[in-house]
Structure 1
Amino acid sequence: MAHVIPMTDRPTGRPPSRLPHLPPPLTRQLTRLRGRSPGIVSGMLGGAVAAGLGLGSFAVLVTMLWISSPYPDSGPGGALHVAAALWLLAHGAELVRADTLSGAAAPVGLTPLLLLAVPLFLLHRAARDAVDRAAEGHTPSSARTAWAGVVLGYVAVGAAAALYATGGDLRPSWPWAVGCVPLVAVVAAGAGVWTAYGRPHEPFLGLLVRLPRRLRRPLMPPVARDRYGEAVRGAAAGTAVLVGGGSLLVAASLLGHTSAAVAAFGQLTEGWSGRFAVFLLCLALVPNAAIWGAAYALGPGFLLGVGHTTGPLASAPGPLLPPFPLLSAVPATGPGTPLTWATAAIPVAAGLTLGWFMATAAVRPPAPLPDPATAPHPPYDYAPPPWSARRTLAFTFLAALLCAAALALLGALSGGPLGASALARFGPVWWQTGTATLAWTALLGLPTALVVRGWRLRAQRRAPKHTGKHTDKHTGKHTDAAQEPSRTASKQKPAGRTGAGTGDG
Structure 2
Amino acid sequence: MARVTQVTERSPMLSAERSRSAVLASAFVRGTFAAGLGLGAITVLVMVLWISSSSPDSGPGGALHVATGLWLLAHGAELVRTETLSGHPAPVATVPLLLTVLPLWLAYRAGRDSTESGGAEDPAGRRSAVGVCCAVSAGYLLVVLGVAAYARNSGLPADRASLAFPPAVLVVLVVAAGVWASRGRPWGPVLAWAPLRVQEAAARARFRAGLEAALRAAAAGVAMLLGGGALLVAVALVWHAGEVQESFLTLAGHWAGRICVLLLALAFVPNAAMWAASYGLGPGFALGTASTATPLTFGGHPALPDFPLLAAVPAQGPGTAANWASVAVPLAAGLVLARFTARAAVPVSGSREGAWGAGGTAAVAALAAAGCGAGAALLAAASGGALGTGALAEFGPVWWLVGPAALVWAAVIGVPAALLTRAWRLREQGWSWRRDVSSTEDERPEPAPDEETGGKPRASGPLAERYDFLSAGSWHGEGARKARWASLRRGSGGLMADFPAGHTEARTDPRADLVADPRPDPRADLVADPRSDAVPVPQDPRPDPAPVPQDSPRRAASQDLPRDAVQDAEKTGDTSGNETESAGTGAGADTGTDTGTGTSASRAENGGAGAEDGAGTGGGGTGTGRLPDAQGHAETGREDAP
Equivalent of 1:71, from 44, 55, 60?
55
CA distance in 1, matches of 2:336, 2:269: 24
Q: Are the equivalent residues in 2 in contact too, given 1:44–1:152 (CA < 8 A)? A: yes
Equivalent of 2:144, from 158, 162, 174?
158
* 1:445 counterpart = 2:414: yes
Partner residue, 1:503: none
Q: Are the equivalent residues in 1 in contact too, given 2:122–2:128 (CA < 8 A)? A: no
Q: Are the equivalent residues in 2 in contact too, given 1:39–1:145 (CA < 8 A)? A: no
CA distance in 1, matches of 2:420, 2:399: 31
Change (3 A) 1:246 1:12: closer
Equivalent of 1:145, from 131, 135, 142?
131
Residue identity (%): 47
Change (3 A) 1:307 1:70: same
* 1:173 counterpart = 2:159: yes
Larger Rg: 2
* 1:49 counterpart = 2:33: yes
Alignment TM-score, normalising by the size of structure 2: 0.62
* 1:84 counterpart = 2:53: no
Partner residue, 1:61: 45
Alignment TM-score, normalising by the size of structure 1: 0.79
Change (3 A) 1:54 1:167: same
Partner residue, 2:378: 409
Change (3 A) 1:290 1:366: closer
* Secondary structure in structure 2 of the residue aligned to 1:224: helix
> In the TM superposition, what whole-angstrom CA distance separates every residue of 1:145-169 from its partner, at most 9, and x where no partner exists?
2212111111111101000010101
* 1:281 counterpart = 2:267: no
CA distance in 2, matches of 1:224, 1:249: 37
* Secondary structure in structure 1 of the residue aligned to 2:286: strand
Q: Are the equivalent residues in 2 in contact too, given 1:59–1:84 (CA < 8 A)? A: yes
Change (3 A) 1:335 1:399: same
Partner residue, 1:481: none
* 1:399 counterpart = 2:368: yes
Q: Are the equivalent residues in 1 in contact too, given 2:342–2:361 (CA < 8 A)? A: yes
Deviates more, 1:285-294 or 1:57-66: 57-66
Tell me by how many angstroms 1:41 deviates.
Answer: 0.9
Equivalent of 1:426, from 358, 372, 395?
395
* Equivalent runs, 1:299-318 vs 2, <5 Å: 299-318=282-301
CA distance in 2, matches of 1:386, 1:460: 16
CA distance in 2, matches of 1:137, 1:245: 46
Q: Are the equivalent residues in 1 in contact too, given 2:373–2:406 (CA < 8 A)? A: yes
Cα-Cα RMSD? 3.0
Tell me by how many angstroms 1:308 deviates.
Answer: 1.1
CA distance in 2, matches of 1:89, 1:12: 48
Change (3 A) 1:13 1:298: closer
Change (3 A) 1:431 1:13: closer
Change (3 A) 1:9 1:416: same
Query: Given residue 347 of structure 1, which amino acid in structure 2 is its aligned partner?
Result: P
Partner residue, 1:333: 316
CA distance in 2, matches of 1:399, 1:220: 20
Query: Given residue 158 of structure 2, which amino acid in structure 1 is its aligned partner?
Result: P
Partner residue, 2:90: 106
* Secondary structure in structure 2 of the residue aligned to 1:107: strand
Change (3 A) 1:169 1:12: closer
Partner residue, 1:96: 80
Structure 1 residue runs of 5 or longer lacking an equivalent are 1-5, 15-31, 368-380, 464-473, 475-505
Tell me by how many angstroms 1:113 deviates.
Answer: 0.3
Q: Are the equivalent residues in 2 in contact too, given 1:355–1:445 (CA < 8 A)? A: yes
Query: Given residue 47 of structure 1, which amino acid in structure 2 is its aligned partner?
Result: G
> In the TM superposition, what whole-angstrom CA distance separates every residue of 1:353-400 from its partner, at most 9, and x where no partner exists?
211221222122169xxxxxxxxxxxxx9x743211111111110000
* 1:190 counterpart = 2:176: yes
Query: Given residue 387 of structure 2, which amino acid in structure 1 is its aligned partner?
Result: L
Q: Are the equivalent residues in 2 in contact too, given 1:363–1:456 (CA < 8 A)? A: yes
> In the TM superposition, what whole-angstrom CA distance separates every residue of 1:144-203 from its partner, at most 9, and x where no partner exists?
222121111111111010000101011111010133322122011111112222323333
Query: Given residue 438 of structure 1, which amino acid in structure 2 is its aligned partner?
Result: L
Please identify which structure carries the higher helix content: 1
Q: Are the equivalent residues in 2 in contact too, given 1:48–1:150 (CA < 8 A)? A: yes
Query: Given residue 169 of structure 1, which amino acid in structure 2 is its aligned partner?
Result: G
Tell me by how many angstroms 1:76 deviates.
Answer: 1.1
Equivalent of 1:206, from 178, 192, 210?
192
Query: Given residue 419 of structure 1, which amino acid in structure 2 is its aligned partner?
Result: G
> In the TM superposition, what whole-angstrom CA distance separates every residue of 1:9-43 from its partner, at most 9, and x where no partner exists?
366999xxxxxxxxxxxxxxxxx9x9311111111
Equivalent of 2:206, from 214, 218, 223?
223
Change (3 A) 1:134 1:217: closer
CA distance in 2, matches of 1:211, 1:395: 20
* Secondary structure in structure 2 of the residue aligned to 1:316: strand
Query: Given residue 423 of structure 2, which amino acid in structure 1 is its aligned partner?
Result: G
Equivalent of 1:249, from 228, 232, 236?
232
Change (3 A) 1:257 1:106: same
Query: Given residue 131 of structure 1, which amino acid in structure 2 is its aligned partner?
Result: T
Change (3 A) 1:314 1:142: same
Q: Are the equivalent residues in 1 in contact too, given 2:303–2:392 (CA < 8 A)? A: no
> In the TM superposition, what whole-angstrom CA distance separates every residue of 1:24-74 from its partner, at most 9, and x where no partner exists?
xxxxxxxx9x93111111111111111111111121122222222222222
Change (3 A) 1:366 1:254: closer
Deviates more, 1:88-97 or 1:228-237: 228-237
Change (3 A) 1:219 1:441: farther
Query: Given residue 9 of structure 1, which amino acid in structure 2 is its aligned partner?
Result: R
Partner residue, 2:105: 121
Tell me by how many angstroms 1:205 deviates.
Answer: 4.1
* Secondary structure in structure 2 of the residue aligned to 1:172: coil
Q: Are the equivalent residues in 2 in contact too, given 1:351–1:442 (CA < 8 A)? A: yes
Change (3 A) 1:192 1:222: closer
Deviates more, 1:420-429 or 1:396-405: 420-429
* 1:298 counterpart = 2:281: yes
Deviates more, 1:160-169 or 1:349-358: 349-358
Partner residue, 2:3: none
Equivalent of 2:425, from 448, 456, 466?
456
Change (3 A) 1:131 1:13: closer
Tell me by how many angstroms 1:454 deviates.
Answer: 2.0
Q: Are the equivalent residues in 2 in contact too, given 1:39–1:149 (CA < 8 A)? A: no
CA distance in 1, matches of 2:354, 2:393: 54
CA distance in 1, matches of 2:121, 2:369: 44
Change (3 A) 1:256 1:67: same
Query: Given residue 128 of structure 1, which amino acid in structure 2 is its aligned partner?
Result: R
* Secondary structure in structure 2 of the residue aligned to 1:407: helix
CA distance in 2, matches of 1:12, 1:343: 69
> In the TM superposition, what whole-angstrom CA distance separates every residue of 1:460-480 from its partner, at most 9, and x where no partner exists?
6969xxxxxxxxxx9xxxxxx
CA distance in 2, matches of 1:62, 1:269: 17
Q: Are the equivalent residues in 1 in contact too, given 2:288–2:303 (CA < 8 A)? A: no
Aligned length: 427
CA distance in 2, matches of 1:13, 1:190: 30
> In the TM superposition, what whole-angstrom CA distance separates every residue of 1:95-134 from its partner, at most 9, and x where no partner exists?
1101111111100000000111111111111122212331
Query: Given residue 322 of structure 1, which amino acid in structure 2 is its aligned partner?
Result: P
CA distance in 2, matches of 1:282, 1:409: 22
Deviates more, 1:445-454 or 1:92-101: 445-454
